[in-house]
Structure 1
Amino acid sequence: MPDLPPIREVIARHGLQATKALGQNFLLDEQLLGRIARIPGNLKDQAVLEVGPGPGGLTRALLRAGARVTAIEMDRRCLPALAELEEAFPGQLRVIEGDATKISPADLFSEPYHIVANLPYNVGTALFTGWLSGETWPPQWASLTLMFQEEVARRIIGVPGTSEFGRLAVLAQWRAEAKIAMKVHRSAFTPPPKVMSAIVHVVPGAMPAGVSARKLERVTEAAFGQRRKMLRQSLKGLPGALEALDRLGIDSQRRAETLSVAEFVSLAGEL
């Protein structure tokens, strides 16, 4: 195992400062980073996608776990630090300069892979929903281990009847299992964000029969787009939705947050 300098030293040597515009907050605690890298399980010889590695703190933890890492980084300032890791772990790290929102993982991998990332706050939710919304299921990714603001993490595992339950929870839970694997105090980051963070771990589950991801997205977009209103109001613009509620015996006077994930799946199936 190569002897690497502390991450703080790497940041200082390369003059790296976290940029708010890129949603950056760097993790420096190598014990904590090692714990994150262990959440997906044994990564030895496993393919891993990391988004926004920054100076490479989590990257080195993944490499030490034996993973073959493909890292997408759009901040050119971080590339020299990542190049040092490429040299320290020959054949284990591939760095791609670019915007992860414009790069399809399917173009990068010909095998199953895990996604492990301290996601930039400004694009984290968009990337997450994109990875969840493919029509092909099970997906090519074997698991997602992702850092979010704790508020977002709680919305991902939200349960019906609570203010945390919404579109994100339905998309995460209808054919996958999601849990909060670890909470991370704001003081662990440089600079410290204003909010607490949490790591969400997601593994694919069974695909319900007779429903498409796009249909479910349309239903949840409409239902939660006006979450304070009754379904008869929020869904009236979705052709056939009110009739589908009647066929399923779902009271149109209910609000979206009171429906179960299974009821949303049934509704999408009816459409």
Structure 2
Amino acid sequence: MSLPPLREVIAAHGLSASKALGQNFLFDEQLLGRIAAVPGKLEDRAVLEIGPGPGGLTRALLRAGARVTAIERDSRCIPALAEVEAAFPGRLRVVEGDALKIDHADLMGEPFAVVANLPYNIGTLLFTRWLGGEAWPPKWTSLTLMFQQEVAQRIVAKPGTSAYGRLAVLAQWRATAKLAMKVHRSAFTPPPKVMSAIVHVEPAEAAPGVSARTLERLTEAAFGQRRKMLRQSLKGLPGALDALDACAIDPTRRAETLTVEDFTAIAREMGDQTR
């Protein structure tokens, strides 16, 4: 079964991108194919896609040989995705629901790659959730995600730069993150006000003795008041100032001057603060 062009699908089903759901549709099949190629060979690999919309990226993933599970909250898109499902028998499973309320590892039941043009309004929430948790390595084998370019730059940022902050530390302390490609706003319908970029993340070895929850609390406090010295921004976090002293880190420094290794060392000294 051949599929009609995406623009025809949009028109046939009366679909329009929902601002409330953070939707922006991609129609360029060549570009979608390039995005699907970022995680490497997908033949017979399990792939989780969040927010497939009318199924543009879904098609590219299926054509690359993936077995796709797509979570879509917008019921208007389900009939269009059913057509894609029919064109690739046994290769696409569509789950109607809220990706924030679903346990992705349980849903997939096997190691999986995540490839998604994430809805802008939940992208960062999902990303920090995938990076969180005490169990490591995670069930996902890689994350290939579309973000606003500004957010993407914050994920891959280095210490001492204006983009460096909590997202960079959480993404880099036990994973590798790279900017895979930029996507011009004109590629979308409707065009968003900002440029976009694809970030590719793969799990790495976790720093021993570090609680993910402690690191989350530490970075939240440190970068929540990033213009302040650490002795001010961390004074309300139990054990943080003592940990600075134990790590011989000057408390008059600001958060953006600390490396990812500095943050993990402080979190290790602070111990497990999951309770």
What count of residue pairs does the alignment treat as equivalent? 270
Partner of 1:237: 236
Partner of 1:144: 143
- In 2: Cα distance, 1:4 partner to 1:243 partner: 62
Partner of 1:259: 258
Partner of 2:119: 120
Could you tell me whether the CA contact under 8 Å between 2:240 and 2:266 is conserved in 1? Answer: yes
Q: Letter of the aligned partner of 1:144 in structure 2?
A: L
1:133 corresponds to 2:132: yes
1:47-92 residue CA offsets vs partner (Å, 9 max, x unmatched): 0000000000000000001100000001000000000011110000
Partner of 1:224: 223
In the TM superposition, residue 4 of structure 1 has moved relative to its aligned partner by 1.6
Partner of 2:177: 178
The DSSP-based 3-state class of the residue aligned with 1:142 is strand
In the TM superposition, residue 236 of structure 1 has moved relative to its aligned partner by 0.3
In the TM superposition, residue 108 of structure 1 has moved relative to its aligned partner by 0.8
Q: Which runs of 5+ in 1 are unaligned?
A: none
Instruction: Give the TM-score of the pair, scaled to structure 2.
Output: 0.97
The DSSP-based 3-state class of the residue aligned with 2:94 is strand
Partner of 2:155: 156
Q: Letter of the aligned partner of 1:181 in structure 2?
A: A
Could you tell me whether the CA contact under 8 Å between 2:69 and 2:108 is conserved in 1? Answer: no
1:137-176 residue CA offsets vs partner (Å, 9 max, x unmatched): 1100000000000000000001111110000000000000
Percent of aligned positions that are identical:
76
CA RMSD of aligned residues (A): 0.6
The DSSP-based 3-state class of the residue aligned with 2:126 is helix
- In 1: Cα distance, 2:70 partner to 2:109 partner: 16
- In 2: Cα distance, 1:244 partner to 1:231 partner: 12
Partner of 2:29: 30
Note the 1:1-271 alignment, pairs <5 A: 2-271=1-270
Could you tell me whether the CA contact under 8 Å between 2:147 and 2:196 is conserved in 1? Answer: yes
Instruction: Give the TM-score of the pair, scaled to structure 1.
Output: 0.99
Q: Letter of the aligned partner of 1:148 in structure 2?
A: F
The DSSP-based 3-state class of the residue aligned with 2:142 is strand
- In 2: Cα distance, 1:215 partner to 1:242 partner: 14
The DSSP-based 3-state class of the residue aligned with 1:115 is strand
In the TM superposition, residue 243 of structure 1 has moved relative to its aligned partner by 1.2
In the TM superposition, residue 247 of structure 1 has moved relative to its aligned partner by 1.1
- In 1: Cα distance, 2:170 partner to 2:123 partner: 15
Q: Letter of the aligned partner of 1:132 in structure 2?
A: L
- In 1: Cα distance, 2:106 partner to 2:205 partner: 25
- In 2: Cα distance, 1:138 partner to 1:49 partner: 17
In the TM superposition, residue 101 of structure 1 has moved relative to its aligned partner by 0.6
